[in-house]
Amino acid sequence: MSLFRDEIKSELTSHIIPFWNALRDDENGGFTGFMDSDLHIDKKGEKGVILHSRILWFYSNAYMELKDPALLDNARHAYEFLTEKCVDKEYGGVYWSMNYDGTVKEDIKHSYCQAFFIYALSSYYRASGDKAALDLAYSVFDLVEKYATDDIAYLEKLSRDWKSELANDELSENGLMADKTMNTTLHLMEAYTELYLADHNAKVLERLLFLLNITYDKIFDKNGKKLFVFFDRELNVIGDIHSYGHDIEATWLIDRACEVIGDKAVTEKFAAMNKQIVRTIADIAYDKATGSLLNENDSGVVNTWRIWWVQAESVIGFTNAYQKGYGGQEYLDIAHNVWNYIKDKIVDKREGGEWYSQVDENGVYAKFKPAVDPWKCPYHNGRMCIEMMNRLADIEK
């Protein structure tokens, strides 16, 4: 355990943090938003708002873990870009994406994007004590609750003024156009967990429980012991997709929500669900030959790309399953095996590299996937390191 933890800490402090430090843009604000697969930086590349929210979350949590003031300074730098450039001063909330100079590129209001902004602001408040960050998180929370909900669940993509619902191109895929998604539900739940942790507000708790109940009642496939992915407006399932990475990520995020809520009945209900989901992923998605996790199953066809964030979430998810007693040593062994796979195949050992976005079944990286873009960020791998440093220390005790 101690060697495992040391390796994880070294990856965070000697590799991931220095990589993102080098992308700080002091001229235009925020962080450079694009690097191609050959590690060429485009200083005029798009700056995703989700990317910057995740960077803010990352540096805030890295600071809380490592206590290095330089990390808090980078968090503040991301916070200033987000609040000065990405917040819509007229209608509230954050835009979808910015140009390199901080002008607006795409002005839609997406619930998924608002969720990550709330998530990041809540963590930054905990790291910095800056009450303005918490106040802003609540203002966005209120907008989401006012405009992006109906009687059934949460809406996805809205116009800049929040008044018109738009086709959900950003989070639909596999040839489907989804009105509602598991992904947005999961990450709103994640955001509200962090907001509730910051302030223990009763309204946030109410909506967090609503999201958890949606997950159990509508998103959890009780026959397949997995999570459905895409839905129509009434939360009827569309498509036949099983996202292995989202499933293993959801188990530990839901457990974290239950820990923060602190209600025994809620915890036991979702532990029973998560135990089933983890077992399914271990049985059908974990590739014992390589020690890695496959991507997804779409209508019976398995996608065998090894995606960077799927591997990172697997390490946390299986470790959490071991800690929660969902299974024995097998789950801790899977987590360690996936970490070994990450070290061997996913970590980019080139000078100036970080992690490959994805590799094929033979471990060859996909040159068509950038090293940094609006989705490729320090959130999954950085979070894996922070989570595992603490979890492995607890296991060692």
pLDDT score, position 173: 78
- DSSP assigned state of 32: -
Number of helices (H), then strands (E), in the chain: 13, 17
Are 117 and 53 spatial neighbours (Cβ–Cβ below 8 Å)? Answer: yes
Query: What tens digit of pLDDT does each residue of 149-187 get?
Result: 998 999 999 999 999 999 998 887 778 899 999 999 999
The residue segments making up the domain with residue 260 are 2-396
Residue at 362: amino acid letter: N
Which sign, positive or negative, has the C-alpha torsion 147, 149, 151, 156? positive
Nearest to 313 by CA among 396, 254, 231: 254
Q: Which pLDDT score, from 0 to 100, does residue 260 have?
A: 98
pLDDT at 1: 84
Q: Which two tokens stand for residue 224?
A: 């397949």
State the CATH number of the domain containing residue 325: 1.50.10.10
Q: Which residues of the chain are modeled with pLDDT < 70?
A: none
Judge contact between 20 and 58, C-beta under 8 A.
yes
Please choose, from the candidates 391, 381, 120, the residue with its C-alpha nearest in 3D space to the C-alpha of residue 255: 391
Count how many domains the chain has.
Answer: 1
* Degrees to nearest 5, angle at CA 307 with 304 and 15: 145
Can you give the pLDDT at residue 170? 85
- Rg, Å, the chain Cα set: 20
Q: Which residues pair with 306 in a beta bridge?
A: 359
Phi (first) and psi of residue 81, to 5 degrees: -65, -45
Structure confidence at residue 169 (pLDDT): 87
CA angle, corner 343, sides to 190 and 356, nearest 5?
70
Alpha-carbon gap, residue 163 to 62, rounded angstroms: 37
